[in-house]
């Protein structure tokens, strides 16, 4: 795999982004001048301008000719909202977009399963997951021989609650916030997926196995079960026509 080479401007942008989100430069205030930043980072004015373009595209700063760059927000939520809104507005909701969203979801959930299984204080979260799993088990009989739309809607809601609980146990705040803003796009697309009763039953069994693995600290098994579930969903998306 080729090594990603960071440019001077990307390094500067990353550091300024970190400083802004840490409120070193408050919203409504200004960054140091381009000349001051060039001296601070030992960089050219061109590198500073390119770093500014990156930060402005993310909605963190506003750049005006002849003035120092103004900080627009120190809020992680606002930053992520601007970033993800930009992603959605420039990307059609096609199979590629869905595939990318599923990759984000997989990254977060696998990380969450791994870390949760190792967390000595995981009891409350695991109990919440277990309750959601129990509720899905209770709804299943209503789905076997009928098209009970109300029961199906509740089943889907509880399933989303199960995943949301797992995702929110992840300690990567940026990834979690990004997922929160992108999730409605993914969930909207998921409404097009159909499942047989046997598929629903198998999935609920896997959720129960996952809860047990998390409770017992079986990290490898928890990660494997999470991957199986999300891979199955991804394969269903691949079969859809967009």
Q: What is the pLDDT of residue 194?
A: 85
CATH of the domain at 226: 1.20.120.530
Q: Check if the beta carbon of residue 225 is closer than 8 Å to that of residue 206.
A: yes
Q: What DSSP string runs through 35-101?
A: HHHHHHHT--HHHHHHHHHHHHHTTSEE--TTSPPEE----HHHHHHHHHHHHHHTS-SSHHHHHHH
With a cut of 80, say whether residue 225 has pLDDT above it. Answer: yes
With a cut of 60, say whether residue 189 has pLDDT above it. Answer: yes
Q: What is the pLDDT of residue 187?
A: 77
* Least confident stretch, 45-54, 67-76, 125-134, 213-222: 67-76
**Enclosing domain of residue 162:** 78-239
pTM, to two decimals: 0.63
> Is 83 part of a structural domain of the chain?
yes
> Is 1 part of a structural domain of the chain?
no
Confidence of residue 85 (pLDDT cuts 50, 70, 90): low
Per-residue pLDDT of 140-155, as tens digits, reads 999 988 778 899 999 9
With a cut of 90, say whether residue 204 has pLDDT above it. Answer: yes
Q: What is the pLDDT of residue 201?
A: 94
CA distance 242 to 239: 10
Task: Examine the domain organization and report whether 29 and 147 are in the same domain.
Answer: no
Count: domains in the chain: 2
Task: Examine the domain organization and report whether 51 and 115 are in the same domain.
Answer: no
> Is 138 part of a structural domain of the chain?
yes
């Amino acid at each position: 795999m080729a090594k990603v080479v960071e440019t001077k401007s990307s390094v500067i942008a990353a550091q300024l982004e970190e400083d802004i989100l840490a409120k070193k430069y408050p919203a409504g205030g200004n960054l140091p001048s381009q000349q001051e930043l060039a001296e601070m980072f030992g960089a050219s004015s061109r590198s500073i301008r390119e770093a500014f373009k990156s930060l402005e595209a993310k909605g963190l700063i506003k750049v005006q000719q002849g003035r120092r760059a103004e900080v627009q927000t120190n809020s992680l939520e606002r930053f992520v909202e601007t970033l993800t809104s930009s992603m959605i507005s420039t990307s059609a909701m096609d199979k590629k977009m869905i595939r990318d969203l599923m990759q984000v979801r997989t990254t977060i959930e696998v990380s969450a399963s791994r870390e949760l299984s190792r967390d000595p204080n995981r009891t409350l979260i695991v109990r919440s997951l277990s309750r959601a799993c129990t509720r899905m088990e209770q709804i299943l009989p209503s789905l076997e021989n009928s098209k009970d739309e109300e029961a199906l809607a509740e089943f889907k809601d509880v399933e989303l609650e199960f995943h949301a609980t797992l995702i929110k146990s992840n300690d990567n705040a940026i990834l979690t916030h990004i997922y929160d803003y992108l999730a409605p796009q993914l969930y909207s697309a998921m409404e097009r997926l159909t499942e047989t009763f046997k598929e629903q039953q198998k999935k609920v069994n896997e959720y129960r196995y996952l809860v047990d693995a998390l409770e017992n600290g079986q990290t490898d098994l928890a990660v494997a079960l999470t991957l199986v579930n999300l891979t199955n969903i991804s394969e269903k998306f691949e079969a859809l026509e967009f």
